[in-house]
């Protein structure tokens, strides 16, 4: 199966200031620091991480809001970033995004009709759009007369549905969902998620689903990647992932989830209790960036950054606890604490 | 029921006067918090959770808000009739509050030490504490919330701290006055999951140690299940169900509570339930009778006409719904 979208060693650094008086050195934030993964057709690929882990930067780079510092993103084998600069319109049309907060991603001065017409007028100029707008609203199960409403008269959930309709206006094949329900109440979340799942079936879409809610991820994604400080620390099939989390950070994340039943409580790994603060992305710890909070820290962890290792069945982990079969790391001590 | 209640709220009604009429936000809220009890308050955004708490502390902006009826009794004294000096006693030593967003709750232009010092001085009333005493109390408070290097922190500005540290400072401030009741308004929502877990565990240990009563406001049901003894469920300005935490999670009764429980995605998988159709009503013209009836799958004819009284369905388990009328 060929991937629809492939990330190869993607890096995105931001310069946030300068230090030094005489010799000015830039202060860089390594928002995304060497991320590689592939998304296959029809898949819902989940990207999980805490704030500042770089998951939104991955999303924004994919839709072209940022140019990567290095590395490539390939869409059907074609690089998304060319030397000429501008991304061709036929590729822009294929990749769309739904933002987290519909309150700020919809223009308050435009009616729903105008909001939905904008992408249509760019990608299919010189055409009447009103029919297509009505069609879009029907697709997302919204009454057609809503097209004359303005965002402030809609509830949070309805606004997000308009944002979804806008993303689908150009008939994309790939949609990025950047925390689509985290600004909404739990009671509305289900409706939005089920709408998204139905639309995927109907229009053969692939999703990159970004969230920090692991319980939601369990029910939505087919494969999950965990990000921590700009790097991916674990990738696995969703069911496998929740059955046997391997990376200590993943275990910490899973054991921190508040759950509502005893049955779920039993599924949480008990061993790892959350401790320590998330380090500032300006000042990422040496070696493995998680070593300051890790309960299984070894001497090697603060020196050498571990490599991604396949532990079988495509379950990838980046941790010294799971050494590569090809050999040992320099400086690795035999006594494992 | 041997201990007398610390806080009693009887039939509290709050309206907001706005252009075009009155928003009837609180429609008779009843709740009781006993000494040492940890109580959860659950409901969707806009249901009146924070308004209730602000009314209890008398920090609602009046106008536009107006308390049109009801009683708030703290240790038997009516908070709504207190003089300013009595209120000063109440806020701080009686009740303190932790707000949802620690960044907005701390003043960015004063150091942590200055803000914490103010709280300590204020709670001492007439200001007969010297600077050294304040400093040592502030240090103690910061150590209490497991913050490293408290001496340096006293001279730090909020912007120099991470979100988790700021929330710890807010907790230290709220507990520095040794309150009898702590109101925690979504203390972990603006934080990351692993940090939220740390904060909740810390808060839990502190209040158990001091036997402080707590009202925890949240819309994350999992958090409620882990840290509270009893839960109140609020919908559109009134309490629709109250029960011991275990009983509520084992057997939710009110249709809204059931819908809420079902709409939480489970770690065990099985898809996401549709949730509850519709949205919270407009407070300008709220539905007659039970305010939930337009969204309720079991709505009967009587639900449109009359607001249901409270029915007892189990030990300390009360539901305000005609489905459970005997």
Give the count of Cβ contacts less than 8 A between chain A and B.
Answer: 121
CB distance B277–A191 less than 8 Å? Answer: yes
Q: Which DSSP symbol is given to A222?
A: S
Collapsed DSSP state (helix, strand, coil) of residue A207:
strand
Residue located via tokens 């995304």: A32
Q: How far apart are CA B50 and CA B189, in angstroms?
A: 14
B279 contacts in A (CB within 8 Å)?
155, 157, 188
CB distance B221–A260 less than 8 Å? Answer: yes
Q: How far apart are CA A289 and CA A305, in angstroms?
A: 8
Q: What is the pLDDT of residues B276-314, one digit of tens each?
A: 777 778 888 888 888 888 888 888 888 888 888 888 888
Q: What is the pLDDT of residues A12-42, one digit of tens each?
A: 998 888 887 788 888 888 889 889 999 999 8
Average pLDDT over residues B59-82: 86
Per CATH, the architecture of A3-232 is what?
A: 3-Layer(aba) Sandwich (3.40)
B195 contacts in A (CB within 8 Å)?
50, 274, 277-278
Cβ-contact B69, B13 below 8 angstroms = yes
Cβ-contact A123, A93 below 8 angstroms = yes
Cβ-contact A324, A309 below 8 angstroms = yes
CA-wise closest residue to A106 among A170, A139, A153: A153
Q: What is the pLDDT of residues B115-141, one digit of tens each?
A: 988 888 877 765 567 878 888 888 888
CB distance A259–B271 less than 8 Å? Answer: no
Q: What is the CATH number of domain B5-324?
A: 3.40.50.300
pLDDT of res. A27: 83
| Mean pLDDT over each residue of chain A, to the nearest integer | 85
Question: How many CB atoms are located within 10 Å of the residue A86 CB?
Answer: 8
Q: How far apart are CA B316 and CA A127, in angstroms?
A: 65
Q: What is the pLDDT of residues B136-185, one digit of tens each?
A: 888 888 887 777 778 888 888 888 887 778 888 888 888 888 888 999 88
pLDDT-derived band at A328, boundaries 50, 70, 90: very low
Q: In this structure, is the dihedral angle defined by the CA atoms of residues A57, A216, A97 and A102, taken in order, positive or negative?
A: negative
B223 contacts in A (CB within 8 Å)?
258
Q: What is the pLDDT of residues A207-225, one digit of tens each?
A: 999 988 888 888 899 999 9
Q: How far apart are CA B11 and CA A160, in angstroms?
A: 36
| Mean pLDDT over each residue of chain B, to the nearest integer | 84
List the structure tokens of A97: 């995004």
List the structure tokens of A328: 């040992």
Q: Which DSSP symbol is given to A42?
A: T
Q: How far apart are CA B3 and CA A325, in angstroms?
A: 64
Q: At residue A337, does pLDDT exceed 50?
A: no
Q: How far apart are CA B116 and CA A151, in angstroms?
A: 42
Task: Give me the DSSP letters along A230-271.
Answer: TEEEEEEEHHHHHHS--SHHHHHHHHT---SSHHHHTTS--S
Closest CA in chain B for residue A53:
B192
pLDDT of res. A183: 76
Please count the helices (runs of H) and the strands (runs of E) in chain B.
12, 12
DSSP percent split of chain A into helix, strand, coil, nearest 5 = 30, 25, 45
Residues of chain B whose C-beta is under 8 A from some C-beta in A?
A: 44-45, 162, 164-165, 192-198, 200, 219-223, 225-226, 249, 259-261, 263-277, 279
Return phi, psi of residue B172, to 5°: -60, -40
Q: How far is CA A179 from the centre of its chain?
A: 8
Burial annotation B56-88 (CB, 10 A radius, 16+ → b, else e): bbbebeeeebebeebebbbeeeebeebeeeeee
A188 contacts in B (CB within 8 Å)?
275, 279
CB distance A242–B267 less than 8 Å? Answer: yes
Edge-first strand order for the sheet with A25-40 is A25-40, A3-19, A70-75, A78-79
Cα dihedral A291, A297, A303, A309 in deg (nearest 10): -90
pLDDT of res. A1: 64
Residues of chain A whose C-beta is under 8 A from some C-beta in B?
A: 50-51, 155, 157, 185-191, 193-194, 212-216, 218-220, 239, 242, 252-253, 255-261, 263-264, 267-268, 274-275, 277-278, 280
CB distance A187–B45 less than 8 Å? Answer: no
Q: What is the pLDDT of residues A97-141, one digit of tens each?
A: 999 888 888 999 999 999 999 999 888 877 788 888 999 999 898
Q: At residue A279, does pLDDT exceed 90?
A: no
| Contacting residues for B204 by C-beta, under 8 A, at least 6 apart | B227
Burial annotation B246-285 (CB, 10 A radius, 16+ → b, else e): ebbbeebbbbbbbbbbbbbbbbeeeebbbbbeebbbebee
pLDDT of res. B127: 59
Q: At residue A332, does pLDDT exceed 70?
A: no
Domain spans of chain A? 3-232
Q: How far apart are the first and last CA of chain B?
A: 25
Q: Which DSSP symbol is given to B94?
A: I
Cα dihedral A210, A213, A219, A220 in deg (nearest 10): -10
Q: At residue A335, does pLDDT exceed 70?
A: no
Q: Which DSSP symbol is given to A25?
A: E
Question: How many CB atoms are located within 10 Å of the residue B240 CB?
Answer: 25
pLDDT of res. A24: 82
- The beta-carbon neighbor of B265 closest among A51, A187, A218 is A218
B267 contacts in A (CB within 8 Å)?
214-215, 218, 242, 257, 259, 264, 267-268
A260 contacts in B (CB within 8 Å)?
221-222, 225, 249, 261, 264, 266
CA-wise closest residue to B214 among B47, B36, B68, B80: B36
Q: How far is CA A225 from the centre of its chain?
A: 9
Residue located via tokens 């041997």: B2
Q: At residue B191, does pLDDT exceed 80?
A: no
Nearest C-alpha of chain B: how many angstroms from A79? 34
What is the interface pTM, i.e. ipTM, of the complex? 0.71
Q: What is the pLDDT of residues A285-313, one digit of tens each?
A: 888 888 888 888 888 888 888 888 888 77
A187 contacts in B (CB within 8 Å)?
44, 259-260, 263, 275-276
pLDDT-derived band at B233, boundaries 50, 70, 90: very high
**Chain B contact probe: residue of A44, A190, A198, A295 with most B CBs at under 10 A:** A190
Distances (CA, A) of B281 to A155, A228, B18: 11, 41, 17
Closest CA in chain B for residue A190:
B274
Percent of chain A with pLDDT over 70: 95
B71 sits in which H/E element? strand B65-74
CB distance A278–B195 less than 8 Å? Answer: yes
């Amino acid at each position: 199966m060929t991937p629809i979208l492939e990330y190869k060693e993607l890096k995105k650094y931001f310069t946030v200031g300068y230090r030094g008086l005489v010799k000015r050195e830039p202060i860089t934030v390594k928002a995304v620091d060497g991320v590689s993964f592939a998304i296959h057709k029809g898949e819902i690929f989940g990207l999980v991480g805490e704030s500042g882990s770089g998951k939104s930067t991955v999303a924004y780079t994919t839709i072209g809001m940022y140019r990567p510092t290095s590395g490539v993103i390939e869409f059907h084998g074609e690089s998304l970033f060319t030397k000429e600069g501008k991304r061709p319109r036929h590729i822009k049309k294929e990749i769309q995004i739904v933002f987290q907060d519909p309150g700020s991603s919809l223009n308050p001065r435009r009616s729903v009709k105008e909001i939905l017409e904008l992408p249509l007028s760019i990608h299919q100029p010189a055409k009447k759009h009103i029919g297509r707008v009505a069609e879009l609203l029907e697709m997302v199960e919204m009454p057609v007369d809503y097209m004359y409403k303005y965002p402030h008269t809609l509830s949070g959930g309805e606004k997000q549905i308009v944002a979804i309709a806008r993303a689908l206006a150009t008939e994309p094949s790939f949609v990025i969902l950047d925390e689509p329900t985290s600004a909404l109440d739990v009671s509305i979340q289900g409706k939005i998620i089920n709408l998204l799942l139905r639309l995927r079936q109907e229009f053969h879409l692939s999703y990159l689903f970004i969230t920090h809610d692991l319980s939601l991820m369990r029910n939505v994604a087919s494969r999950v990647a965990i990000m921590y400080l700009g790097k991916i620390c674990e990738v696995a099939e969703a069911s496998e992932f929740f059955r046997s989390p391997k990376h200590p950070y993943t275990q910490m994340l899973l054991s921190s989830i508040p759950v509502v039943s005893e049955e779920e409580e039993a599924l949480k790994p008990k061993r790892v209790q959350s401790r320590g603060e998330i380090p500032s992305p300006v000042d990422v710890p040496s070696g493995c960036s998680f070593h300051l909070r890790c309960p299984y820290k070894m001497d090697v962890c603060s020196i050498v950054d571990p490599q991604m290792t396949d532990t079988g069945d495509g379950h990838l982990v980046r941790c010294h606890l799971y050494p590569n079969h090809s050999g040992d790391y320099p400086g690795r001590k035999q006594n494992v604490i | 029921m041997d201990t007398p209640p610390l806080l009693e709220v009887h039939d509290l009604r709050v309206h907001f006067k706005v252009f075009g009429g009155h928003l009837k936000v609180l429609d008779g809220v009843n709740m009781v918090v006993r000494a040492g009890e940890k109580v959860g308050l659950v409901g969707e955004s806009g249901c009146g959770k924070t308004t209730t708490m602000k009314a209890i502390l008398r920090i609602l902006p009046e106008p536009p808000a107006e308390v049109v009826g009801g009683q708030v009794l703290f240790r038997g004294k009516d908070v709504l009739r207190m003089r300013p000096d009595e209120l000063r006693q109440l806020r701080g030593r009686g009740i303190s509050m932790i707000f949802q967003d620690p960044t907005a709750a701390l003043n960015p232009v004063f150091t942590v030490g200055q803000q914490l010092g103010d709280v300590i001085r204020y709670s001492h009333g007439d200001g007969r504490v010297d600077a050294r005493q304040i400093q040592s109390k502030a240090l103690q408070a910061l150590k209490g919330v497991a913050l490293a290097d408290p001496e340096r922190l006293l001279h730090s500005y909020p912007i120099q701290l991470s979100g988790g540290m700021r929330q710890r400072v807010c907790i230290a401030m709220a507990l520095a006055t040794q309150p009898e009741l702590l109101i925690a308004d979504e203390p972990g929502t603006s934080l990351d999951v692993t940090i939220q877990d740390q904060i909740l565990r810390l808060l839990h240990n502190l209040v158990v140690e001091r036997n402080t009563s707590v009202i925890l406001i949240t819309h994350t049901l999992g958090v409620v299940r882990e840290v509270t003894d009893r839960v109140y469920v609020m919908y559109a300005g009134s309490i629709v169900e109250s029960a011991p935490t275990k009983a509520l999670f084992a057997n939710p009764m009110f249709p809204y509570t059931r819908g809420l429980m079902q709409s939480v995605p489970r770690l065990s998988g099985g898809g996401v339930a549709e949730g509850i159709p519709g949205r919270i009503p407009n407070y300008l013209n709220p539905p007659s009778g039970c305010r939930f009836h337009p969204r309720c799958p079991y709505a009967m004819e009587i639900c449109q006409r009359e607001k249901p009284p409270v029915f007892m369905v189990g030990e300390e388990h009360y539901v305000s719904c005609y489905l459970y009328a005997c």
